[in-house]
Amino acid sequence: MFCHPTLVRRRTMAYNAAGEKSGAPPPFVYGTSFILGLSMFGISLAAGIYNSYVPLFIRHYIPNVAVIGLIVSIRTLAGVFLNMYFSARSDRTRTRFGRRMPYILIGMPITGLLFIAFPWQIGAAFLITIDLVYALTSNIFYAPTMALMPDVTPEANRSQANGIINAMAGFAALLAFFIGPLLFHMGRQVPFLVVGLLFFMIPMIMYRKLKEPADVPPSDSVGFRHLWQAAQDIARRMDHTALWLLIAVFFWSGGESSVETFFVTYGVYHLHWASSVAVITIGLFALAYLIFAMPSGFLAKRHSRRGLVLVGTLGLGLAFIAIGFFTGTWPIRLLAMTAGIFWAFVNINGYPWLTTLTSPTNIGAFTGLWLLSSGLGNFVCQPAIGFLMDHWGYPSLFVAAGIAALLASLAIWRTQPERMRLG
């Protein structure tokens, strides 16, 4: 399935969206996207195994759910800032291994070792320590891995690459759901050992098969200062496309993540479904997204990313609102699948669009701002929508999530059409 292309480095100069000169990425090769997808495949597989079993391990030692929730909140909040920092720092990094690759070569194997240690339950202190250190190391390489995609992919092909990468990540999530329990029954250490070994193999494959452009100038600043300068640059531009896009990311991430978080609760307590019925229904949303991930990327070759994201946010918002008016299983499932298709339009084309709005020097910082907008959307919208559900009833979930997606579409409407911006 995987091809192993020999990437040819080209030292060329290209004008980017900001009007600056910078090194162009190598020519687009599908094999490059599959190799990039290996990293997200491993990350998604690890997340699925982690979410299925590690909370149970922690609950064995800590019966207090509030304490577990506090640990999860600390991990989530720390993850947002760590991703921002390492993503921006990679813009300044210069080594013989590249600027993104060192974070992958160091972070993934260490994370793999920690992952293997999870099922060896020596005690509560050991498990919590492993979990918190895992939260640190797993965020060392995640954002640099994201930023590596636009580094090695031409602008015109980034949606295609993102579609392939997300399809591989979605396939890994399904494997974790179906294969994970089989491995666990072979021994509680087995799924963790398999993922841990993958975390040693994947960075070696990426290092051997991917070549970062060597002629991209380093950023002028490092870490959070670099992020701040990138944010100031976005705010001062005459063209506010990047600013409106990040605002849209805040709303669509918050709305979609709220539906994923609360849908099973909505199905069980409002529709009186069995939990399995609710899980299958939200699973169809994820399945539709997975099926249309690659086609959504290829559509960007014929249609503008702005148009696809605009249609996606509008369709997502209307589908969410419509779900609130139905109680039958199959009408809701059909609408959930429709929403999954529109979500693919949004999620596959949004990040590649943002990377075209800056120079290669600042892609890491813009990736960090993307992750900040997405993380803040989840952090703000989920408790806000939960509050509405408590006071106005469960159907407010889909009204609020739909409005969030429609607000995202309004923000996208304020962006400049790509032809006008490039002109």
One fold for both 27-211 and 228-415?
yes
| Alpha-carbon gap, residue 367 to 88, rounded angstroms | 8
305-323 and 396-413 helices, crossing angle to 10°: 160
Does residue 304 carry a pLDDT above 50? yes
The predicted structure's pLDDT at residue 177? 83
Q: Which fold has domain 228-415?
A: Growth Hormone; Chain: A; (1.20.1250)
Report residue 303 as tokens: 């249609």
pLDDT band at 245 (very low <50, low <70, confident <90, very high): very high
251-289 pLDDT, tens digit per residue, is: 999 999 999 989 999 999 999 999 889 989 999 999 999
The predicted structure's pLDDT at residue 367? 96
% of residues, the chain, pLDDT over 70: 91
226-242 pLDDT, tens digit per residue, is: 899 999 999 999 999 99
Cβ distance 213 to 151 under 8 Å?
yes
102-139 pLDDT, tens digit per residue, is: 999 999 999 999 999 999 878 888 998 999 899 999 99
Higher-confidence residue: 314 or 224? 314
The predicted structure's pLDDT at residue 10? 31
Least confident of 20-24, 50-54, 411-415: 20-24
| Alpha-carbon gap, residue 252 to 351, rounded angstroms | 13
The predicted structure's pLDDT at residue 17? 37
| Alpha-carbon gap, residue 318 to 307, rounded angstroms | 17
| Alpha-carbon gap, residue 297 to 407, rounded angstroms | 23
Least confident of 9-23, 205-219, 259-273, 321-335: 9-23
Query: Which element (helix H / strand E) includes 14?
Result: strand 13-15
In angstroms and rounded to an integer, the radius of gyration of the C-alpha atoms of the chain is: 21
pLDDT band at 221 (very low <50, low <70, confident <90, very high): confident
**0.85 exceeded by pTM:** yes
Nearest CA to 359 among 38, 23, 41?
23
| Alpha-carbon gap, residue 172 to 182, rounded angstroms | 15
Cβ distance 299 to 244 under 8 Å?
no
Nearest CA to 298 among 162, 417, 169?
162
Domain boundaries, the chain: 27-211, 228-415
Give the pLDDT mean for 33-56: 92
Residue 191, classed as helix, strand or coil, is helix
Give the position of tokens 């506010």: 240
Does residue 9 carry a pLDDT above 80? no
| Alpha-carbon gap, residue 296 to 349, rounded angstroms | 8
Query: Which element (helix H / strand E) includes 23?
Result: strand 21-23
Report residue 383 as tokens: 């408790």
For residue 171, give every residue at least 6 positions away whose Cβ sits within 8 Å of its Cβ, in sequence order, or none: 41, 290
For residue 324, give every residue at least 6 positions away whose Cβ sits within 8 Å of its Cβ, in sequence order, or none: 395, 397, 398, 399, 402
Report residue 251 as tokens: 């709303």
| Alpha-carbon gap, residue 41 to 46, rounded angstroms | 9
| Alpha-carbon gap, residue 207 to 203, rounded angstroms | 6
Q: What is the CATH number of domain 27-211?
A: 1.20.1250.20
Give the position of tokens 């960075």: 203
CA dihedral 25, 104, 100, 301 (to 10 degrees): 30
